[in-house]
Each structure stands twice: as structure tokens, then as C-alpha cells.
Amino acid sequence: MSDTLIQFGHSFQKKIIVLLLFNRRFLQTISDIILSEYFDSDADKWLVRSIKKYYEKYKVEPTLEALKIQIDEISSDVLKKLVVDNLREVFQHREATDLDFVEEKVIEFCKNQNLKSAIMESVDMLERHDYDGIKTTIDAAMKAGTTKDLGHDYVEGLEERLTHSTRDTIGTGWDIIDEVMDGGLGKGELGVIVAPAGIGKTWCLQQIVHNTLKRGCTAIHYTLELNQSYVGLRYDTIFSGIPTGEIKFQQQVVRKSLEKITGKLLIKYFPTRSASVQTINAHLKQVELSGLKPDIVIVDYADIMKDISGGTELRHRLGNIYEDLRGLAGEMEIPIWTASQANRSSLEEDVIGADKIAEAYSKVMTADFVVSLSRKIEDKAANTARAHVIKNRFGIDGITYPCTMNTHTGLIKVHRPSSKMGVEASKKMRSSEDFLKQSARNAYKVLVPTDEKSSEEKTSDKNLDGFE
């Protein structure tokens, strides 16, 4: 026992702190396992506690400058001096040749320190003849050095799986989409809406937020293209049904519609290519410090974010952005929705598949749910669209749903193909070409009254009639 105590003594503990400060992989591995109480001196306890706290918040080890600021905040002059002296000693061990050995033995150190504490706790139990308590305490101590969460026990976890939802989801408000997603997008998951430019990606993202706000959720909308005031105006349109250009004439109606909102929405603007995923991460932490925890986050949109990884090719840069974005969703335990650009050729497609997404592979592989939105010119005229599920990690994919979509009022609905509205929307889409020709013919009649038309023009009308 004495050899073990010497082995895990003063010098060994200093070298653990060296590894915590200068070996991020070690810190990531051991942060949940090692406790400040395992260390003998109060100064070492303070250092370990401060390093862990900093890592939990920023996911990196603290710099010397950061530690100095924290040391200055220590109220006890005695402890402050001890910490400074200990930190100097830690730096003296930075070039030690046995750091690999210390890293190898750190789990054993945790078990040893935990067992020492358990033995001390068992003294009183021994006097009370509480042998069961001693056994429980010792058994728990022997388990030190394992992570807090080893994983889901498949057999033992059966009851939990059957009685509780395995995913905490936030619905989109489109019933059929929520159904195929098994409730909506879950915490830690990434959803992507794909569409060509000008089709309505932002409107779709805002519609999702609109539906969550009505349920009392808190949302943050990051806009990288439109300024935050204009995005706010578009939300006014969605809630009131009044086109954006007419809002100023219907202010009372807008105010009335906002009274129904029980949730909270923050809109934050970052200029195009100026914000990285790390920028959003930092802002989310600021929001949390203010006492606000978002239920859902919108990033409008990921393709125009800044990549700080230094990738040379576009597909690599976009891949990094989407991976980091999903990682952020997991870290913050929130669902994140974003949008992606489809290529130009998709403008005339009835259904947009994965092959039409710009640099598609990395995006589709990373995301949990991907849905495309296609609207040809004819569809815009008929206020229709097609939503196609490209990827669905939690249900079926490869299916297409008819939509009604009015970008003047922000009204977007996704229909079951067999429903009355679905059948009607599909019928409109099938006859969209005829719809446009009829519109053109009506416009022509307005411009040229029938009785003023020449015989040539009347012949043209007959030809138009043939297409109706």
C-alpha cells in the first residue's frame, strides 16, 4: 500500500495536471472520470476543478491567461499563493519523460483514491455493524475510472424503451411530415430543406418556427442573408396573413395576431460568410448565460456559412460546416434546421432528388432528415409545390407530397396525397401548364378587346382555345 501511495503521490498528481492542461485528448477522455477530491492539496483541487469547469463550458483546455484571470478572483490570499506556486511546479513537470506512464496509470489512480475515501467512510459503518453498507460503498469505489454513462443496456433498458419515447422531438407543424419523421426533429439532430434559389427555403424554415412558437417553444433564427428586421416582417406576415408590403397599413391586425404567441423568438443576423458554426456556438452560450434556453434553432442557411477548417475544395468546406452544425446540435441538445441550395437544373424538375443538391454527398450523409421543395414557374402561378423526402433516418423516404404554397402570405401546407386538399393540389399541378395558358389568354383579352381584333388575331384565339 505504501508503494502505491508513493507512486500516486505529490509528483504523480502534478503530472496529471500537466496532462489536463496540455493534452486535449487526455482531457476529453478523463474529464468525466477524474474528480478534484482525488488530489491531496487544496491548490491542486482548485486547479483540477477550474480546468474541468472551463472545458465543460468551452470544450478546450484553459490558456495560462484564462487561469490567471480565475486565480485573481480567488478571495483567499493564502489559497491564491498556493495555487500560483503549484502552477509553477506544474510547468516544471511539463517536460517530464514519464507522462505516457502517468496517462496509462491515471485510471488506477482514480480507483486508488476512490477506495481510500470509501475505506474512511466505512469506519463508522463498521462500528454500526453495517456490513451491507460497507460492501455497497466498496463496490461503488471499485467502479471508479469508468465513464458516468457506459451506454444503453439493451436488456435492462427494455421497459424504458417501451414506455418512453427514445427521441425528444419538436414537430414541424406539418402533420404528414411529422408522422414520417416519427414526431419531428429530435434534440441533437439536423434537418435540411433543399430548394433552388428564390423558391421559398426561408419561408419554410420560418413556417417551422411559427408552428413551434404557437406551442410555447423558444426559437432562435440565425439569418445570414436577410437582415433581422426584414426576417421579422416576414414573421409578421406568417402570423397575420398580411403580405409583407402591406404590413404598414395593417399594423393593428399584426399586433393582434402577435398576442396569440406564447413562445419566444430571437432573430440574429450575421453577414454572409462571416459566421462559422463556432460563432453560433458562442452566441448560443451567451443566450444561455442570459437565462434563455432555445428549443429549436434555425440557420438560414448553412451553405453561406464560414468554414474555419481551412479546406481547399468546396465540398470539403461544406462537409465540415454540416458536420460541425450537427455536432453543435448534439452538444447543445437541440434540433437544428437549415437549408441548402439545389443546382440550377433543378428549376424545371418535378421532383428534386439528392443528385440535384450542390455538393450533395456530404450534406445528405451528415443530416438526419432532408426534404426538397420543387416549384416550377407553373407551380408558382398555381400556388403549389412538391415536397420530396430525400433522407429520413427515422422512417420512410423517397416519397413526394403535394403542397399549397403562397409566398405572399407565408402560408405553406403539406398534404397527404389522398386527402381532399392533396388531390386538389395535385390536380392543379397536373394542369399547371393549362393554368398558365389560360392566364395568358385572359391577359391578352384584356389588352385587346374582342371586337377590335383582326381576323388574324381571332385565328390566334382559336389556336389558344385548342390548348385549353
- Domain extents in the chain: 2-142, 171-430, 434-467
- The DSSP bridge pattern shows strands 169-170 and 185-186 to be antiparallel
pLDDT tens digit at each of 468 positions of the chain: 444 444 788 889 999 999 999 988 888 878 878 888 889 899 999 999 999 999 888 888 898 888 999 999 999 999 999 999 989 998 888 888 889 998 888 888 888 887 777 777 667 776 777 666 666 666 665 555 444 555 667 677 677 666 665 678 999 999 999 999 999 999 999 999 999 888 899 999 999 999 999 889 999 999 999 999 999 999 999 999 999 889 889 999 999 988 888 899 999 999 988 889 989 988 998 888 788 899 999 999 899 998 887 767 787 888 889 999 999 999 889 999 999 988 877 888 888 988 888 676 778 888 999 999 998 888 888 899 999 999 999 899 999 999 999 988 889 999 999 899 988 888 887 766 565 566 666 665 655 555 554 444 444 444 434 333
Q: Would you say 396 and 390 are in contact if contact means Cβ atoms under 8 Å apart?
A: no
For residue 301, cis peptide bond before it (omega within 30 degrees of 0): yes
β-pair type (384-392, 400-406): antiparallel
Rounded to whole angstroms, how far apart are CA atoms 133 and 139?
A: 10
Residue type for 388, please?
H
Give residue for cell 486565480: 71
Pick from 246, 218, 217, 221: which is nearest to 232 by CA? 221
SS3 360: helix
**Is there a common fold for 2-142 and 171-430?**
no
In this structure, what is the dihedral angle of CA atoms 374, 378, 381, 387, given to the nearest 10 degrees?
-20
- Provide CB contacts within 8 A for 205, sequence distance 6+: 193, 221, 298, 300, 301, 337, 338, 339
Q: Give the number of C-alpha atoms closer than 13 A to the C-alpha of residue 53, restricted to the C-beta side.
A: 10
Cell numbers describing residue 186 = 429530435
- Distance (Å, rounded) from C-alpha 362 to C-alpha 366? 6
Q: CA–CA separation, 171 vs 196, rounded Å?
A: 24
Distance, in Å, from the CA atom of 457 to the CA atom of 468, rounded to the nearest integer, reads 17
Other C-beta atoms within 10 Å of 397: how many? 15
Residue range 2-142, CATH number = 1.10.860
Q: Which CATH number describes the domain made up of 171-430?
A: 3.40.50.300
* Region at 101 (left for phi over 0; alpha for psi -120 to 50; beta for the rest): alpha
What are all long-range contacts of 20-26, with beta carbons under 8 Å and residues at least 24 apart?
Answer: 20/48, 20/51, 20/52, 20/61, 21/51, 21/61, 21/62, 21/90, 22/61, 22/94, 23/99, 23/103, 24/60, 24/61, 26/103
C-alpha cell, 266: 430571437
Joined together, the cell numbers standing for residue 263 give: 413562445
| Cell 421559398 found at | 200
- 404-416 burial: b if 16+ Cβ within 10 Å, else e: bbbbebbebbbbe
